[in-house]
Amino acid sequence: MPSSSKKPKPKASSSERVARQTAEPIVVEDLDEENSQEEMKIPTGMPLEPWHRSPSPFESWSDQEDTSWGLKIVSEEVDGWGNVRHETQWDGWGRQDGTNTTWKDEYIDDELRVRLEVTKPWDKREMRRRRRMANESRDLELSTGVDIHNNCTRYRAQAYDEKKAMVLDLKDSFSAFYLKAKRREPSLLDENLDKEIEVQEGDARRSQRQRKRAAKAISSSVPSSRAPSFKTLSASASQSQTRASSSATATTMRPTPTPSTISSLTSISERSTPSNHRLLTPAASSVTLVSASPASSSRRSFSHIPAGPPMSEKARGKQPMRSETIPPPSPLPSRPNGFSRRRALAEEWSLWGAPISIRNDVDDEDIPPLPRDFEWIEKGYQYDTGLDYLDSDKGFLMGCSGHRSCSTKAIGRCDCQGESSCLDPSGRKICAYDSKGLYKFNVLRGVEVLECTPNCECSDDCPNRVLQRQRDISLEVFKTPQRGWGVRAMEMVERGKVLGMYTGLLIRREDASDKMDYCFDLDGQENLDDDDSDAGIGDRYSVDSESKGNWTRFINHSCDPNLAIYEVVYDLPPGQGTPYLAYAAIRDIPAGEEFTFNYNPNIEEIVQSAKKSKKFKTTNGKRIPAGRKECHCAAQNCRGYF
């Protein structure tokens, strides 16, 4: 439906502007004129003029500034640089010749740099069209008879990406199924196999439709044009409905305490003991989360959020290979009026596992300051330009034959542990987890833990699949007085509990700088040191979670941490320098205690080298090594910097 907008004054087209700015104006000829053919002839022997696009005919407007017009976008044009112009139809307006459209550069809010509400009907229609195109055929058209400009329009390029992602989705589910089926019954007739594969692919499509419906439910129930449009919402890979529904049941069955039972997290944390596992549900915390002036603060924070495209094909491609380990987002219940920005964000973050809530008792900041295109990645990496090859073919990963070989005691017998360097003192391969899935802290720093891979035949509850499991601890992202936002659990966490992984954009080490607050080198250290002698050497990588990541990006540093980091691989090859960074509880952590880890395990070396080179700076009267930050962890053994 057309939305209302201010006056239809079309701006001069870009070529028109060029014509106006050049000292020697380009003569604009009306091609409908009878003699236009004469004008266009290029005299032989003359050098060719640079190519100029024919400018739109000049139109003058004498509209009142405050006139509102209904408008409808009817087509768009994308140039080779991706700039978009919309053809717009204005209600009750037309030229004498019967035409009633104008061309306008992309409808963008100059201040917020987001597409305006008026483009929504058009964007939706285009998306439906692209999806139809992607669904109609699974062929990938690599070259066409049409010219390169048409081939590169947004319409075609996005349809191509979506189609590719869909094919990859199906391919993954197909090969996983095929491997399993073949191992289960090698003599399975091809005919039967074909039938089962059809069913499998049908399931993948069905779950894709369900995901889209879930994402639609979210976007349509947020009552603002600048509603968050977090791309991963509709971007999950094909996933098992069975697990999804069982996890949804678990969540809804939890008791919801009343506000009086959760008056303060601190008091709960004081009351909690390892034998007293208390659980706070985010439903309860959200009751108390409304800030002093919800309307104004939520409006302010909305300005960070674009009404951008609703999904990222890249994100979809990067969902974990073992699709069963993460359930698809389930449709959310309908929300009351006045639904807050904070709750919307918390609900989105909660789609991937146990609930996450957001709380601020310190000031009136509504939500953590996120880049407006922030994208949630619960597990895995996205790859920076040129690094896609690291996300290699899963077919090369080792696989075990399941049965009892994955027992935590006899892990050495597992075929997938061929390359494992997790060894006991006598050189035998050992499992990094106990039978409850708790990390045993028996692995040397830098040694990668090899969990079972997508090619293993064992089930999802295999004791050697831990980091890849769905997150089951409910969390709270909360504002601290001196360390910005932090994160804590809403329930007691047992020693060895594996909480999750650091996710984000995988970049080359040399592209990481000390300015990047959310960047961690893939050796478990925050990247703070510009003079890092490792930088640029060999295949070393870092993970940047500034604009893509999950709750772990909120974990602050402490000189007396309660979490440790270790390295894990399961759907990427071991030894290529791209392990996942897993967080495990070093000790029992009471509900409400902030999660922290040591950003600089090798701080001693850093201090020694600062002493040698005499590189120190003074911050708030404290003398700290250059490149370090002042620490406010408040631990008894705090060094004062990290």
Ligand X SMILES: C[S@@+](CC[C@H](N)C(=O)[O-])C[C@H]1O[C@@H](n2cnc3c(N)ncnc32)[C@H](O)[C@@H]1O
Binding site for ligand X (CB under 6 A): 368, 483-486, 517-518, 553-554, 556-558, 629, 631-633, 642
Which CB atom, from 323 or from 598, has the smaller least distance to ligand X? 598
Which CB atom, from 160 or from 554, has the smaller least distance to ligand X? 554
Q: Residue 480 Cβ, how far from ligand X at the closest point, in Å?
A: 7
Which CB atom, from 294 or from 627, has the smaller least distance to ligand X? 627
Q: Token pair for residue 406?
A: 């994955």
CA 428 to chain centre: 39
Q: Residue 642 Cβ, how far from ligand X at the closest point, in Å?
A: 6
Q: Do 398 and 418 contact (CB within 8 A), yes or no?
A: yes
Q: Token pair for residue 573?
A: 């090859």
Which CB atom, from 439 or from 642, has the smaller least distance to ligand X? 642
Place of tokens 């691989």: 569
Q: Residue 635 Cβ, how far from ligand X at the closest point, in Å?
A: 9
CA distance 639 to 637: 6
Which CB atom, from 156 or from 632, has the smaller least distance to ligand X? 632
Which CB atom, from 305 or from 631, has the smaller least distance to ligand X? 631
Which CB atom, from 90 or from 641, has the smaller least distance to ligand X? 641
Q: Token pair for residue 215?
A: 């994402």
Q: Residue 553 Cβ, how far from ligand X at the closest point, in Å?
A: 5
Q: Residue 634 Cβ, how far from ligand X at the closest point, in Å?
A: 8
Helix or strand (DSSP H, E) at 507:
strand 504-508
Q: Residue 595 Cβ, how far from ligand X at the closest point, in Å?
A: 11
SS3 of residue 24 by DSSP: coil
CA distance 162 to 157: 9
Which residues, other chains included, contact 196 with Cβ-Cβ below 8 Å and sequence gap of 6+? 177, 181
Which CB atom, from 291 or from 468, has the smaller least distance to ligand X? 291
Which CB atom, from 370 or from 498, has the smaller least distance to ligand X? 370
Cα dihedral 139/141/146/147 (nearest 10)? 160
Which CB atom, from 318 or from 557, has the smaller least distance to ligand X? 557
Q: Residue 633 Cβ, how far from ligand X at the closest point, in Å?
A: 4
- Classify residue 274 by its DSSP letter: T
Place of tokens 């449709």: 331
CA distance 537 to 117: 47
SS3 of residue 193 by DSSP: helix
CA distance 401 to 101: 65
Q: Residue 412 Cβ, how far from ligand X at the closest point, in Å?
A: 37
Q: Residue 230 Cβ, how far from ligand X at the closest point, in Å?
A: 17
The DSSP-derived string for 314-371 is HHHHTS-SSGGGSPPPPPPPP--TT--HHHHHHHHHGGGSS-EEEE-SSSS--S----
Which CB atom, from 537 or from 634, has the smaller least distance to ligand X? 634
Q: Token pair for residue 310?
A: 């609703």
CA 143 to chain centre: 30
Q: Residue 226 Cβ, how far from ligand X at the closest point, in Å?
A: 22
Which CB atom, from 172 or from 521, has the smaller least distance to ligand X? 521
CA distance 498 to 480: 24
CA distance 436 to 453: 19
Residue with CB nearest ligand X?
Answer: 484
Q: Residue 368 Cβ, how far from ligand X at the closest point, in Å?
A: 6
Q: Residue 558 Cβ, how far from ligand X at the closest point, in Å?
A: 6
Which CB atom, from 368 or from 590, has the smaller least distance to ligand X? 368
Which CB atom, from 302 or from 518, has the smaller least distance to ligand X? 518
Whole-number Cα distances in Å, 273 to 166, 265, 282, 285, 590: 48, 14, 21, 21, 7
Q: Residue 516 Cβ, how far from ligand X at the closest point, in Å?
A: 9
Q: Token pair for residue 19?
A: 């014509």
- Name all contacts of 73-79 with Cβ < 8 Å and 24+ positions apart: 73/107, 73/118, 73/119, 73/121, 73/122, 74/101, 76/122, 76/126, 76/154, 77/103, 78/152, 78/153, 78/154, 78/155, 79/149
Which residues, other chains included, contact 447 with Cβ-Cβ below 8 Å and sequence gap of 6+? 421, 422, 567
Q: Residue 72 Cβ, how far from ligand X at the closest point, in Å?
A: 42
